[in-house]
Amino acid sequence: MKVVLPSPLASYTANRREVEAEGATLQALLADLDRRHPGIRFRMIDEQDAIRPHIKIFVNRAQVSSIAHPLSPADEVLVVAALSGG
Amino acid sequence: MPRLLVLVGTRKGLFVLKADRARQRWSMEGPHFLGEVVSHAGVDPRDGRTMLAAVRAGHLGPTVLRSMDYGKTWKEAAKPPAFPKAAAGEALDAVAHVFWLTPGHPKHPGRWYAGTSPQGLFVSDDGGVTWEGVQGFNTQRASAPWIARGPDAPPDGATLHSINVDPFDPAHLYVGLSAGGVFESHDAGATWRPLNKGCAADFLPDPDAEYGHDPHCLRVHPKVKGVVYQQNHCGIYRLEAAERRWTRIGAAMPKEIGDIGFPMVLHPRDPKTLWVFPMDGSTVWPRLPIGGKPAAYGTRDAGRTWKRLDRGLPKAQAWYTVKRQAMTADALDPVGLYFGTTGGEVWGSFDEAESWQCLVLHLPHVYSTETALVA
């Protein structure tokens, strides 16, 4: 499925902002994304599997709060480096 | 001829100042990691080559990057410092940023230590590629009352810093916890005990508290056994090693200056010579040069007397902070000293702080400076 990434993560994807990854849950998709682009997951998700404070993840434009969220092949995942002031 | 490098970690990237050994011709490379916070960066003195940087972008998680070609290319740690996954019901600790990096003992080539916020201690035995928690420290996190576990606290988070490896005993480690105090281990990190006797903590109700102190910078002399100094939130201290007790050598500083500050730099050869950069520690702790007149202070008699060292520095209206990693020395003779400011300046002295010159202006807020002599 399509994953749209913010510019702060572009160094992991050879500057591509749209990449492909697969998974039946957000957790599985992030694992696949990390296999394809090593290191990218830890910069979005901490060691306790929490989405980092200034990262927001949307599935089909609805924000999700847990990486256990289920996914379908037709879903689109949008990762946003959330504005937090300044 | 070997070159001198000064690595300057800033709030928006890493810069590398380069000089010939005479320290007369300077150039600058960078920024590396443009826009990312570089808390600390250094070159491994054992191989003169491996360069590590503790990096975090504003929106992203923390990591460590490694270069083997003096910054031409960087590779991210395959396993950055991270706490273990918590079991159900346990507190969820996550590294917010890697704050401090220290190369290990020469007997352990490839070993590095990292200190984090929240306070954690990590070790790498492969030159920074993979990191593991120092179990003796990190497993105490749940029970040790001196370890701050919360999220980033003001102003820059509760940090583990000042990781020092005893040059005469690779199993003897020191760390500073802000806040928490100074702690040491004689078994390579398996067990720890407080090392705070004699050190003031005027913000605690117990004047003789065993822990809870606020060391700002701890330095162990690289050549002379048992010589340890500390710049603390509550003064400048020398460790009386046999008694495991601190003596407040900052008491000899001028009263109008006081003995509060962040960095502390030891002479690489003379155990009685060190330098500090006092900051205003009054009222709301402004942490700025006293009266807007920046100055280093140095002692050549282990803190019995101090000398103001401000020739070349601004005479008035200079309002910046020099952070705990942001002042350092080289190993040349005479010793060169360097400090970076939160105003983005890097200053150097090539006569052991007797006079200063501005090397760089207009950098981002400086977090750290470290030197290296490389081929």
Buried/exposed code over B198-210 (b: 16+ C-beta within 10 A; e: otherwise): bbbbeeeeeeebe
pLDDT digits (tens, 9 = 90+) for B152-202: 555 567 899 999 999 999 999 999 999 899 999 999 999 999 999 999 998
Give the closest-approach CA distance of A72 to chain B in angstroms: 26
Mean pLDDT, range B45-56, rounded to an integer: 96
**Mean pLDDT on B283-312:** 96
Q: Tens digits of per-residue pLDDT, B97-138?
A: 999 999 999 999 999 999 999 999 999 999 999 999 999 999
Of residues B321 and A85, the one with the higher pLDDT is B321
Taking CA atoms, what residue in A is nearest to B79?
A39
Question: Across the interface, do A82 and B59 touch by the CB < 8 Å criterion?
Answer: yes
Tell if the CB–CB gap between A43 and B60 is shorter than 8 Å. yes
> What's the whole-number mean pLDDT along residues B282-286?
85
Average pLDDT of span B269-292: 94
- Give residue-wise pLDDT tens across range B361-374: 999 999 999 999 99
Nearest CA in chain B to A49: B85
Average pLDDT, chain B: 94
The ipTM estimated for the assembled molecules is: 0.86
Please report the domains of chain B, with CATH numbers, ordered by start residue.
3-84+93-374 (2.130.10.10)
Quote the tokens at residue B159: 């940090």
> What is the pLDDT confidence band of residue B344, given thresholds at 50, 70 and 90?
very high
The full DSSP string for B234-282 is: TEEEEEETTTTEEEEGGGGS-TTT-S-EEEEEE-SS-TT-EEEEE---S
Does the A2-81 domain belong in CATH 3.40.50.970? no
- pLDDT greater than 80 at residue B229: yes
Cis check for the bond before B334: say yes or no (omega within 30 of 0).
yes
State which residue of chain B sits closest to A9, comparing Cα positions.
B60
Q: How far apart are the first and last CA of chain A?
A: 33
Distances (CA, A) of B55 to B74, B235, B317, B320: 12, 30, 32, 23
Residue spans per domain, chain A: 2-81
pLDDT of residue B149: 61
Computed on alpha carbons and rounded to an integer, the radius of gyration of chain B in Å comes to 19
HSE at residue B50, side-chain half, CA atoms within 13 A, is 23
The whole-number pLDDT of residue B156 equals: 66
User: Distance (Å) from the C-alpha of residue A56 to the closest C-alpha of chain B?
Assistant: 10
Strand partners, B373: B4
Stretch B9-18: mean pLDDT, rounded?
Answer: 97
Would you place residue B284 in the very low, low, confident or very high pLDDT band (cuts 50, 70, 90)?
confident
**What is the CA angle B171-B173-B174, rounded to 5?**
170
Distance CA B370, CA B15 (A): 11
In this predicted structure, what is the pLDDT of residue B2?
63
pLDDT at A19: 97
The pLDDT of residue B155 is 56
> What are the chain B neighbours of A54 within 8 Å (beta carbons)?
58-60
How much is the average pLDDT of A75-79? 96
Average pLDDT in the B335-358 region? 98
Specify the higher pLDDT residue, A82 or B17. Answer: B17
Per-residue model confidence as pLDDT tens digits over B66-106: 999 999 999 999 999 999 998 887 777 899 999 999 999 99
Interface of B with A (CB under 8 A): 57-61, 63, 76, 78, 80, 82-86, 92-95
Closest chain B CA to residue A10: B60
Number of A to B CB contacts under 8 A, please give it: 54
Is A8's CB within 8 Å of B60's CB? yes
